[in-house]
């Protein structure tokens, strides 16, 4: 790995010039009274007159505009420094209300008083993400779908209608365009070091946010619209993220020592790393993660450029090319179609962790949610910060010099290294399906514990048919299972009752424990997984409906509130579940056997693949129909017999043809 000491900046010369020098070339001083009135009203005219346009196509001339706006930013910065906190609150606080997080902007004012570089950068990152979220809310006043990318949002007609085109051009000079200062991206992607971000640009964005609040108020009064804020994204089932043990102060102390010797850390970025660990110690978990994510990206980019021998990509790209970001570093191939070497260097567990936390749709997608302002920073979960810091510590350790073996064997670090080396994906569709299967099985297991009427009570009712049909269906299930037995792990059906719930549960646990590769799953695999997951979802729904129905009908039976027809219907239901439980368990076994062999689907020719998908979809159709028939509204228990009979015939035929993946595996 290249020496992290030798890298003095991650900004390419043109980007470094634009960000660190261009806005300082003009030394003019502007009277702040022409920029903002006594009561804090922003004079937009005095700002927009500094926006220059190219004669060729009337697009923004970013170079001229930044040079011209530089002194304006300086005046605003000095103005804020001259205000007391109370005066600032009186003049400006109300104009930040539209962002739904006014206190953040008051915090940024405090930061500007001391201009400590890491705090300014952190303030800017939080400010830009919050501003983006608020602008998205404004966009939705008159637009339907909010653009995902900030640059598309700022270029939207909707925002130009509300704020005016030239005001949006001002914003694009500071954020959202690779031709401008691009403050948000160079920070969030880990290109800018703390001392490369001028505090006056942070002050200017704070000022512009207040000005936007004033323009918005005028627009809302005129149109009578009401600004509605979208709810924040909340993380559910945090236990799914629990890979590393809880970090304590001693671990963090060792991590601080590691920072000094690890090649993963760019020396210019060291203050960000230290600030991230400090934030964790102070229970500022959102701040910790906001500081840490860009540094993980910067460290991985150093590793990426070294292993793929493309040192030029360590720097910010020019405006005509894409930056090298997480998205690109985690892919299988480089843009020249060569194999990306980073995954083999990081190894599968670390890649799984990164995909889980950053990319998978059902994962926390931390970076996306944070950078787009979708998370309530005041209630950021410690659990997520803990996992990311622990993972970062393992990377610091792995990519340290050989003479740091002592760290790797350290009593505190070793457990973290062990956890990292055996990490398995939790949010890939394969992992989610395994979880679904086991949860569905748990639900079916509950059927045995439900209260039900006795055989004697059943005998009191005349005209109840169908026991023989139910028994026939159970036999058919047993036949299919015995056909599959040769493909099952040894000794799983030695029990006296091969159809027992316990045997199925043990089998499913054993199968779900098997490792199935998740990285870079080909498209056919993902398509099959979508159908398998839908089948599982429907089976679970059937199980939950059966549980609800049995509980309700039993209660009504004991309270003697069932009419004669309802009593017969209740008994038909009890008859149906005799075969529904084995059928659902058979489907779960089939799903899981296919899952552990899912990559074999890529070996099928197009025609066989089409047939295979068609078969899975027919099983899905059966499960969907079962959901309808077993609902409290429909209650069509007799019809489930005919439906199940047809489905079992299809499954048997497909199995006879040895067309399942488990059969092709052998």
- 52-79: average pLDDT: 96
Q: Are residues 210 and 67 part of one domain?
A: yes
| Residue 58: inside a domain | yes
Q: Are residues 348 and 266 part of one domain?
A: yes
* CB-side neighbour CA atoms (13 Å) of 310: 17
| Residue 212: inside a domain | yes
Domain closes at, from 382, 402, 421? 421
Q: Are residues 348 and 201 part of one domain?
A: no
Per-residue confidence band for 185, with pLDDT thresholds at 50, 70 and 90? very high
Q: Are residues 338 and 257 part of one domain?
A: yes
Q: Rounded to whole angstroms, how far apart are CA atoms 73 and 139? A: 27
For the purposes of burial, counting CB atoms within 10 Å of the CB of 163, is it exposed (0-12), middle (13-18) or buried (19 or more)?
buried
Domain closes at, from 421, 447, 469? 421
Domain count, the chain: 3
**Dihedral (CA of 110, 112, 114, 117) sign:** positive
Is the pLDDT reported for residue 496 higher than 90? no
State residue 378's pLDDT score.
93
| Residue 492: inside a domain | yes
**Dihedral (CA of 546, 548, 553, 558) sign:** positive
| Residue 3: inside a domain | no
Stated pTM of the model: 0.92
Is the pLDDT reported for residue 453 higher than 90? no
- 432-454: average pLDDT: 91
Is the pLDDT reported for residue 175 higher than 80? yes
| Residue 348: inside a domain | yes
Q: Find where tokens 């040769």 sit.
A: 486
Q: Are residues 266 and 196 part of one domain?
A: no
CA dihedral 131→132→134→139, nearest 10 degrees, is: 140
Q: End-to-end alpha-carbon separation of the chain, Å? A: 43
- 24-29: average pLDDT: 92
Report whether 163 contacts 86 (CB < 8 A): no
What is the pLDDT of the chain when averaged over all its residues?
Answer: 91
- 559-564: average pLDDT: 84
* pLDDT tens per residue, range 200-229: 999 999 999 999 999 999 999 999 999 999
Report whether 127 contacts 114 (CB < 8 A): no
Q: Are residues 480 and 612 part of one domain?
A: yes
3-state secondary structure 447-473: HHHCCCCCHHHHHCCCCCCCHHHHHHH
State residue 600's pLDDT score.
93
- The single-letter DSSP state of residue 148 is S
State residue 321's pLDDT score.
66
Per-residue confidence band for 467, with pLDDT thresholds at 50, 70 and 90? low
Distant-in-sequence, close-in-space partners of 424: CB < 8 Å, separation ≥ 6: 349, 352, 431, 515
The first and second tokens of residue 461, run together, are 């009712």
* pLDDT tens per residue, range 105-142: 999 999 999 889 999 999 999 999 999 999 999 999 99
Q: What is the DSSP string of 97-136?
A: GGGT-HHHHHHHHHHHHHT-HHHHHHHHHHHHHHHHHHHH
Element at 618 (helix H, strand E): helix 606-629
Q: Rounded to whole angstroms, how far apart are CA atoms 88 and 36? A: 13
Q: Rounded to whole angstroms, how far apart are CA atoms 47 and 209? A: 13
| Residue 135: inside a domain | yes
Closest among 143, 407, 435, 141 to 264, alpha carbons compared: 407
State residue 331's pLDDT score.
92
Q: Are residues 565 and 439 part of one domain?
A: yes
Distant-in-sequence, close-in-space partners of 195: CB < 8 Å, separation ≥ 6: 117, 268
Q: Are residues 400 and 456 part of one domain?
A: no
Q: Rounded to whole angstroms, how far apart are CA atoms 183 and 208? A: 14
* pLDDT tens per residue, range 142-170: 989 999 999 999 999 999 999 999 999 99
Q: Which residue has the higher pLDDT, 235 or 321?
A: 235
| Residue 7: inside a domain | no
- 455-459: average pLDDT: 65
Range of the domain at 398: 238-421
Domain closes at, from 387, 421, 455? 421
- The single-letter DSSP state of residue 357 is I
Q: Are residues 167 and 253 part of one domain?
A: no
Q: Are residues 187 and 105 part of one domain?
A: yes
Max avg pLDDT among 18-22, 398-402, 408-412, 504-508 = 18-22
Look at the chain and count its residues.
666
State residue 309's pLDDT score.
92
- The single-letter DSSP state of residue 359 is I
| Residue 233: inside a domain | no
State residue 372's pLDDT score.
96
State residue 498's pLDDT score.
56
Q: Are residues 456 and 395 part of one domain?
A: no
Q: Are residues 394 and 476 part of one domain?
A: no
């Amino acid at each position: 790995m290249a020496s992290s000491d030798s890298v003095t900046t991650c900004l390419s010369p043109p980007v470094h010039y634009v960000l660190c020098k261009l806005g300082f070339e003009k030394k003019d001083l502007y009277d702040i009274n022409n920029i903002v009135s006594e009561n804090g009203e922003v004079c937009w005219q005095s700002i927009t007159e500094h926006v220059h346009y190219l004669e060729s196509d009337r697009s923004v001339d970013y170079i001229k505009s930044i040079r011209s706006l530089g002194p304006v930013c300086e005046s605003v910065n000095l103005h804020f420094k001259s205000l007391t906190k109370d005066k600032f609150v009186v003049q400006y606080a109300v104009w930040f209300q539209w962002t739904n997080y006014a206190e953040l902007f008051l915090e940024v004012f405090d930061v500007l008083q001391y201009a400590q570089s890491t705090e300014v950068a952190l303030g800017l990152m939080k400010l830009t993400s919050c501003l983006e979220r608020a602008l998205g809310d404004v966009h939705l006043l008159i637009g339907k779908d909010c653009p995902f990318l900030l640059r598309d949002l700022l270029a939207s007609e909707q925002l130009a209608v509300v704020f005016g085109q030239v005001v949006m051009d001002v914003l694009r000079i500071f954020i959202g365009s690779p031709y401008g200062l691009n403050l948000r991206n160079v920070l969030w992607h880990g290109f800018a070091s703390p001392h490369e971000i001028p505090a006056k640009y942070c002050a200017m964005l704070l000022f512009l946010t207040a000005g936007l609040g004033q323009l918005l108020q005028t627009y809302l009064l005129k149109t009578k619209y009401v600004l509605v804020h979208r709810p924040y994204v909340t993380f559910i089932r945090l236990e799914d993220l629990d890979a590393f043990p809880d970090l304590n102060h001693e671990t963090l102390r060792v991590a601080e020592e590691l920072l000094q010797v690890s090649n993963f850390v760019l020396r210019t970025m060291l203050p960000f790393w230290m600030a991230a660990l400090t934030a964790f110690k102070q229970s500022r978990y959102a701040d910790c993660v906001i500081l840490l994510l860009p540094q993980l990206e910067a460290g991985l980019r150093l590793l990426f450029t070294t292993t793929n021998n493309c040192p030029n990509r360590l720097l910010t790209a020019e405006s005509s090319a894409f930056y090298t970001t997480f998205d690109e570093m985690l892919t299988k191939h480089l843009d020249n179609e060569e194999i990306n070497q980073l995954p083999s260097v990081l190894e599968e567990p670390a890649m799984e962790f990164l995909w889980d936390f950053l990319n998978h749709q059902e994962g926390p997608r931390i970076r996306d949610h944070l950078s787009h302002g979708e998370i309530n920073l005041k209630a950021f979960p410690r659990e997520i910060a803990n996992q990311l810091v622990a993972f970062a510590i393992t990377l610091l350790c792995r990519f340290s010099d050989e003479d740091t073996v002592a760290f790797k064997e350290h009593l505190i670090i070793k457990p973290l290294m062990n956890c990292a080396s055996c990490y398995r994906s939790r949010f890939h569709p394969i992992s989610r399906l395994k979880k679904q299967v086991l949860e569905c099985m748990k639900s079916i297991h509950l059927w045995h514990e439900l209260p039900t009427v006795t055989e004697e009570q059943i005998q009191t009712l005349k005209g109840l048919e169908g026991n023989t049909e139910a028994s026939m269906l159970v036999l058919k299930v047993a036949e299919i299972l015995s056909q599959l037995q040769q493909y099952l792990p040894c000794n799983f059906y030695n029990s006296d009752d091969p159809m027992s719930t316990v045997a199925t549960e043990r089998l499913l646990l054993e199968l779900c424990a098997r490792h199935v590769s998740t990285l870079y799953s080909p498209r056919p695999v993902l398509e099959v997984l979508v159908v398998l997951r839908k089948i599982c979802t429907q089976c679970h729904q059937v199980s939950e409906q059966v549980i609800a129905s049995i509980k309700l009908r039993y209660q009504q039976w004991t309270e003697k509130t069932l009419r004669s027809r309802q009593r017969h219907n209740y008994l038909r239901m009890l008859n149906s579940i005799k075969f529904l439980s084995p059928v659902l368990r058979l489907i779960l076994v089939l799903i899981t056997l296919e899952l552990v062999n899912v990559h074999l689907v890529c070996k099928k020719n197009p025609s066989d693949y089409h047939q295979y998908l068609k078969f899975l979809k027919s099983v899905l159709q059966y499960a969907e129909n079962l959901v309808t028939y077993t609902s409290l509204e429909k209650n069509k228990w007799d019809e489930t017999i005919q439906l199940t009979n047809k489905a079992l015939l299809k499954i048997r035929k497909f199995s006879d043809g040895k067309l399942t993946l488990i059969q092709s595996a052998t």
